[in-house]
Amino acid sequence: MNQRRVAITGLGVVCPIGNSVESMWQNLMAGRCGVAEIGQFDASQFPTRIAAEVKDFQASYPNAQKWQKQLMCFTEFAMQAAYEAVCDANLLPAIENPADFGVVVGSGMMTAEFEYFERFQQAAAPEGHTDWSKLKEAKAEFYQQQDFLKTTSNSGLSALVQAFGAKGYATAVHTACASSGQALGLALQAIRRGEAKQILAGGFDSMINPIGLSSFCLLGALSTDNDDPEFASRPFDGTRQGFVLGEGAAFLVLEEWESAVARGAKIYAELAGEGNSLSAYRITDSHPNGDGAIQAIQQALQSAGVTAQDIDYINAHGTSTKMNDLSETNAIKAVFGAKAHQIPVSSTKAQTGHLIAAAGALEAVITVLSIEQSMVPMTAHLRHPDPECDLDYVVEGPREKSIGVAMSNSFGFGGSNSSLVFKNPAWRKK
Amino acid sequence: MSRAEHVYVTGMSAISAGGHDIEQHWQALMQGETKIGPSQKDDLSTWDNQLAGEIQNFDWNRALPDRKLMKLISKQDIIGLHAAIKACDASGLTPFLAQAMQDDVSLCDKTAVFVGSPGNKYFQQYDFLALVKESNGDMQHFAKHLFEQVHPTWLLRILPNNVLAYVGIQLGCKGVNHNFTNHVVGGMQALIEAYYAIKTGQADRAVVVAYDIATEPQARFYYEQLGVLSANKLAPFDKSHDGTVLAEGAAAIVLESASSVRLRGVKPIAQMLGGKSTTEGVGICSLTDDGKPLASLMQQGLEQMGLYSYDVDMLVAHGNGNQKSDDSEALAIAEVFGERSVPVTAFKPLMGHTLCASGLIDTTLAIQALQYKHIPAIINCKKAAPQAEKLDLVFSAREMKAQLPTAMVINRGFGSMNAMVAFKACEHHE
């Protein structure tokens, strides 16, 4: 099938180990970890009181002061990361063909910030349950239009579209932790079919707030290694006991290959294929044998026109939960067979935490940089091997390696799976 | 890159204030009824405007075959899943997939799920209201009493991708999937992407569903402050149009490739010709007054589908009753189709504006109209608003003369998003 190729021409990141692509990569390679005691609110009495928070964030995107009033905090991360990506792609000061420029985002699930929820409670639920007559009475003090603009489901998408001048394809998706992996896959399909020539694609999220933290504490899904935060996220380790919440945003500029070449853009890598499947198993658990993930990985290889033998590196979903890491390991074994043990597999969530809806996009950026820099990131904190997780998880530290083709996986609550394949621009099929 | 195969509709369903199934909606439409009335579900007795489109006389206890599941998900998820199951039942897909799970799971792997999800709603956080009140800003108190006050599986009740996940789990769909959270147009975008997933061979068939409970008081409070709600009636394109009415509902459509139709031996209801969606890029609550971006979208959509404007026998307008939206839509239609050259109808006066579900509900009723070869009148539209005077508004129901008529459906939403799809009647499959 002769289809349009998709180049990656811009990258942008705001995450717990750096608020730019360069700082993130340096800290990742240096083995620095973004997990620490939560600083945004008093979490001292929660079962989990650690997270990977964005640190020292300063907005420098255009008209940041104006936008700040209309945006939730994690949407600001999105604006900053997107700005870095479009600058990196050399698309500013203005998008040349707005009708050919699209935006696709995987956005988080938090409805509103806690401060807003407290104000709402005082106005409309002073007794702890909603009383709509009270809301009417409190209208003058409570109503602020920007509250609604911040909390509408596509407010982040809308801000990105407006700020960067898109007039083409635009959408937002949410499939929990697979959100931004699927957003990139959707953007790839849109460019392939000629819907857009350039798409700003990525994700943004933060669930580090009292309700978000509560929701995962209630489920018992988070690591409770509060006294040893730097080692709390340890994907594939035999003693792993839950993931660590992260926050942030990551964006990539995807571009029709010929268009990127014609304007002389720097091409980091090719987004060559995507796999997308539904496990249809359980709402929280992945299938222990890797079913669902297996189909996504196989589809991604097929979509990219490569075989299992071609893969040089896998950036794993690797959440540090018992079931995910086992399931993903088994999926990799099922697809790659004997080759599975020869492929470096690493989870960077050990250092970044789990950015939920933004995780796939951040890890896509990391995978692209791995190709560009010929460096495989390590799986940090893996000290006690799990006999059932027995792949080459790159435990010794970042590894120099020329990478022709790499894969990045994201699997979400609800069973949505995303697998992306990236090619080095210099790679040729043997 | 598209395969030559046509894409067909083989099953559909709808539930809203307009009825519990499509036939009930159709009967009410043809009789010119409106099911909008004062809200019965929320105590809005002190509010000036209580109009809503609420599902009436529905046995929620029997909404799903799996009654235990109803305790694990929210009401809006229930109607979404209800609609999906009904459409699959209508298409015969339910027993087909059950059999496939036993005999040939690859058929499940090629069955996609595309969802238009409203994302998270304000009401989903209300389980925390009592705790927030008691805590009064003391996060240590909040954390200490969290497990007494909030159900451990709260997060699983509010996942924005619950309907997607449970369509997979309940019906055995394991293929490509996306969950669009792009406000109103999310449902229509789900339909468009499902179409392309089939055209490009990613899937052989797809369950498309969209749902929303847009009547929640906290959101309607904001819509009212924005001045977009009518306290009188929903009257698209009528000179008295003064706003929309929020509503609840869901709809689902089963799409299949021609090969899948042949494989399953089912009779298609209609052929999907394509669809397109773009943003105007002018802000979250804004749109372009002259309708030019919408006109451009329709023109591009027609060209993509190989249609001329005169090929369209019925245009189902978004027609939400909001003056600014109606006027710009009327200008766009006139620009693309010329003066009084296509019959224009709108269905929202029957059931209200179901936001994310509205595109799919309108589409199911458009397909019903193609089957009956009748164009329902626009309820509440007696004399055209000035901007709509150039349109051939359907003031009383009329027949479609074409043997196999074609319909276009328009959908618009926050984020200055526009979407359109087109369908053609079919008598028999290939």
Write out pLDDT tens, residues B314-323: 999 999 999 9
Number of other CB atoms surrounding residue A97 within 10 Å = 12
pLDDT digits (tens, 9 = 90+) for B356-402: 999 999 999 999 999 999 999 999 999 999 999 999 999 999 999 99
Closest CB from A118, A133, A158 relative to B284: A158
Structure tokens at B28: 């009410």
pLDDT band at B429 (very low <50, low <70, confident <90, very high): very low
Residues B129, A45: C-beta atoms closer than 8 Å: no
Which A-chain residues 43-102 have CB contacts (< 8 A) with chain B?
Answer: 43-46, 98-99
Number of other CB atoms surrounding residue B398 within 10 Å = 16
Bridge-based pairing of strands A101-107 and A198-206 is parallel
Give the Cα separation of A225 and B31 in Å (integer).
65
pLDDT band at A2 (very low <50, low <70, confident <90, very high): low
SS3 at position A331: helix
Mean pLDDT calculated for residue range B26-50: 96
Closest CB from B47, B139, B183 relative to A153: B183
Question: Is the minimum CB–CB distance between A167 and chain B shorter than 8 Å?
Answer: yes
Q: Which residue on chain B is closest to A216 by alpha carbon? A: B155
Give the Cα separation of B289 and B292 in Å (integer).
8
Angle at A102 between CA A100 and CA A106, to 5 degrees: 165
pLDDT digits (tens, 9 = 90+) for B100-132: 999 999 999 999 999 999 998 999 999 999 999
Question: Is the minimum CB–CB distance between A133 and chain B shorter than 8 Å?
Answer: yes
pLDDT digits (tens, 9 = 90+) for A300-357: 999 999 999 999 999 999 999 999 999 999 999 999 999 999 999 999 999 999 999 9
Residues A277, B146: C-beta atoms closer than 8 Å: no
Cβ–Cβ < 8 Å for B42, B217:
yes
Residues B180, A217: C-beta atoms closer than 8 Å: no
Structure tokens at A114: 């806690």
pLDDT digits (tens, 9 = 90+) for A360-383: 999 999 999 999 999 999 999 999
pLDDT surpasses 60 at B2:
no
Mean pLDDT calculated for residue range B293-300: 98
Structure tokens at A187: 């953007």
Residue A285: its pLDDT value, please? 85
pTM: 0.98
Mean pLDDT calculated for residue range B17-21: 98
> Of the candidates B263, B2, B218, B134, which has an alpha carbon nearest to the alpha carbon of residue A4?
B2
Give the Cα separation of A248 and B261 in Å (integer).
44
- Cα diameter, chain A: 72
Show residues of chain B in contact with A217, CB under 8 Å: 146
Q: In residues, how long is chain B?
A: 430
Q: Which residue on chain B is closest to A414 by alpha carbon? A: B165
Q: How far is CA A123 from the centre of its chain?
A: 35
pLDDT surpasses 80 at A146:
yes
pLDDT surpasses 70 at B228:
yes
Cβ–Cβ < 8 Å for A386, A379:
no
pLDDT band at B430 (very low <50, low <70, confident <90, very high): very low
pLDDT surpasses 90 at A429:
no
Closest CB from A174, A189, A282 relative to B181: A174
Closest CB from A117, A133, A139 relative to B125: A117
Number of other CB atoms surrounding residue A31 within 10 Å = 16
Residues B46, A276: C-beta atoms closer than 8 Å: no
SS3 at position A13: strand
pLDDT surpasses 70 at B1:
no
Question: A116 burial class (0-12, 13-18, 19+ CB within 10 angstroms)?
Answer: middle
Show residues of chain B in contact with A124, CB under 8 Å: 218
Q: How far is CA B204 from the centre of its chain?
A: 22
> Of the candidates B283, B293, B277, which has an alpha carbon nearest to the alpha carbon of residue B194?
B277
CA B330, B331, B332, B336 torsion: positive or negative? positive
Whole-complex ipTM: 0.98
Give the Cα separation of B116 and B13 in Å (integer).
15
Residues A145, B225: C-beta atoms closer than 8 Å: yes
| Helix residue ranges, H only, B200-347 | 217-226, 258-264, 292-305, 323-337
CA terminus-to-terminus distance, chain A: 19
Catalytic residue numbers of A read 177, 317, 354
Give the Cα separation of B294 and B309 in Å (integer).
14
pLDDT surpasses 80 at A1:
no
Q: Which helix (H) or strand (E) holds A218?
A: helix A210-219
Q: Which residue on chain A is closest to B199 by alpha carbon? A: A193
Distance (Å) from the alpha carbon of B400 to chain A's nearest alpha carbon: 32
Give the Cα separation of B236 and B379 in Å (integer).
8
Distance (Å) from the alpha carbon of B362 to chain A's nearest alpha carbon: 20
Number of other CB atoms surrounding residue A203 within 10 Å = 38
Q: Which residue has the tokens 């009654």?
A: B67
Distance (Å) from the alpha carbon of A174 to chain B's nearest alpha carbon: 6
Residues 6 or more apart whose CB falls under 8 angstroms from that of B283 comprise: A158, A162, B416
Average pLDDT of chain A to the nearest whole number: 97
Mean pLDDT calculated for residue range B55-79: 94
Residue B427: its pLDDT value, please? 77
Closest CB from B119, B134, B225 relative to A153: B119
Residues B160, A217: C-beta atoms closer than 8 Å: no
Give the Cα separation of B405 and B407 in Å (integer).
7
CA dihedral of A72, A74, A79, A80, whole degrees rounded to 10: 130
Cis peptide before A93 (omega within 30 of 0): yes
Question: B257 burial class (0-12, 13-18, 19+ CB within 10 angstroms)?
Answer: buried
> Of the candidates A191, A157, A160, which has an alpha carbon nearest to the alpha carbon of residue A173?
A157
pLDDT surpasses 50 at A282:
yes
Mutate to test the interface with B, among A215, A289, A356 (most CBs of B within 10 A): A215
A50 bridge partner residues = A37
pLDDT surpasses 50 at A112:
yes
Question: Is the minimum CB–CB distance between A426 and chain B shorter than 8 Å?
Answer: no
Residues 6 or more apart whose CB falls under 8 angstroms from that of B337 comprise: B309, B312, B315
Q: How far is CA B265 from the centre of its chain?
A: 28
pLDDT surpasses 80 at B407:
yes
Give the Cα separation of A328 and A335 in Å (integer).
11
Q: Which residue has the tokens 């340096």?
A: A26
pLDDT band at B3 (very low <50, low <70, confident <90, very high): low
